């Protein structure tokens, strides 16, 4: 069977793609690949200096790339609202929203709104951004929302609704896992609410990718990291599941893509399954309701779609 690579991406000319966290790692490679196929790519980044460097790098490697820089701090709902408004002012349509940005296993921190940093950034920030941009996606035939999760979703015993912000105790790996499980619960519930619309929601994970995202891993993991790198792949390979979910004409709403190698750690993208907990309908709906309450962002056009 032919392996799916960036050469498999159909022509993206005329399409508008918003990629969060596009200044480094997986997001940068995703933005580069979409630009190389002709898309107008909005690099939504927290640090504008790093964003400018990313645009310069893509422009040097992709001739005639069509790029735009947008400031976005997913750890601030005010920033999310501002960014969404600015994107909508510039664009009357969005074809692809790639919810890629994230943080992994930092020491206990909170967002500007008081949320645990991983849950607030990885899930709530993207939940709010998606809701605020949705009206630019819904009218567009073939538009997609792709949210990047992780095999780390398996670290989470569930969603700690009684202590979502980890105020009683903090386990950085489980908190990361909770945020990545939330990404999947959100994707599956969103797709169900999108039934009958032209927009679909999918998820992807990069496997073991050698990026700077691992810089906050606990010391025991850091010690083992050099030896474990033989199991990892570079960011360009790690971005392939996201790119397939975003552009493969055969990809369907509600699907989840990851590497085809051992334990889904490396390899070419294929359709994979998340853990059983992620498919729990009651859990999906409860998280959705809580996320609307915490962010103040609703998806009014989709209300009642899951009744």
Q: Residue 179: inside a domain, yes or no?
A: yes
The verdict on residue 183 lying in a domain is yes
Q: What are the distances in angstroms from CA 302 to CA 85, 88, 108, 175, 194?
A: 20, 19, 35, 29, 7
Pick from 177, 121, 111, 128: nearest CA to 149:
177
pLDDT digit string, tens, across residues 187-215? 999 999 999 999 999 999 999 865 554 54
For β-strands 269-271 and 256-259, DSSP reports them as antiparallel
Is residue 304 assigned to a domain?
no
In this structure, what CATH number is given to the domain that contains residue 168? 3.40.50.720
Give mean pLDDT, residues 65-82: 98
- Is residue 307 situated within a structural domain? no
Q: Select which of 170, 176, 256, 279 is catalytic.
A: 176
306 part of a folded domain = no
Domain membership of residue 168 (yes or no) is yes
Q: Per the structure, how many domains does the chain have?
A: 1
* pLDDT at residue 300 tops 90: no
Q: Extract the tokens encoding 138.
A: 């819904």
Whether 257 is catalytic is no
Task: Give, to the nearest 10 degrees, the angle between helix 48-61 and helix 25-36.
Answer: 40
Task: Flag whether 259 is in a domain.
Answer: yes
pTM of the model: 0.92
Average pLDDT over residues 242-248: 98
pLDDT digits (tens, 9 = 90+) for 35-73: 999 999 999 999 999 999 999 999 999 999 999 999 999
Residue 219 has pLDDT above 80, yes or no: no
* Enclosing domain of residue 229: 6-299
pLDDT at 7 over 80: yes
pLDDT at 232: 75
């Amino acid at each position: 069977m032919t392996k799916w690579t960036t050469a498999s991406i159909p022509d993206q000319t005329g399409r508008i793609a918003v990629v969060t966290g596009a200044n480094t790692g997986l997001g940068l490679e995703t933005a580069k690949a979409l630009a190389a196929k002709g898309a107008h790519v909005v690099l939504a980044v927290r640090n504008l200096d790093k964003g400018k460097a990313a645009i310069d790098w893509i422009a040097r490697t992709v001739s005639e790339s069509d790029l735009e820089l947008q400031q976005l701090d997913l750890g601030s709902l005010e920033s999310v609202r501002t960014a969404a408004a600015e994107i909508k002012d510039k664009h009357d349509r969005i074809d692809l929203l790639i919810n890629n940005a994230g943080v992994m296993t930092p020491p206990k921190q909170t967002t500007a709104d008081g949320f645990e940093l991983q849950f607030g950034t990885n899930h709530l920030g993207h939940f709010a951004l998606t809701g605020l941009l949705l009206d630019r996606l819904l009218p567009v035939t073939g538009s997609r929302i792709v949210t990047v999760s992780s095999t780390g979703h398996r670290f989470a015993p569930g969603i700690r609704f009684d202590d979502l912000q980890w105020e009683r105790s903090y386990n950085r790996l489980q908190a990361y896992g909770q945020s990545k499980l939330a990404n999947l619960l959100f994707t599956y519930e969103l797709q169900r609410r999108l039934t009958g619309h032209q927009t679909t929601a999918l998820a992807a994970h990069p496997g073991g990718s050698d990026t700077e995202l691992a810089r906050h891993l606990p010391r025991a993991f850091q010690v083992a990291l050099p030896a474990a790198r033989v199991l990892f792949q570079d960011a360009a390979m790690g971005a392939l599941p996201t790119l397939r979910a975003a552009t493969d004409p055969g990809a369907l709403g509600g699907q989840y893509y990851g590497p085809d190698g051992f334990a889904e750690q490396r390899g070419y993208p294929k359709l994979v399954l998340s853990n059983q907990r992620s498919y729990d309908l009651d859990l999906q709906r409860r998280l959705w309701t809580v996320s609307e309450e915490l962010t103040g962002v609703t998806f009014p056009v989709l209300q009642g779609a899951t009744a």
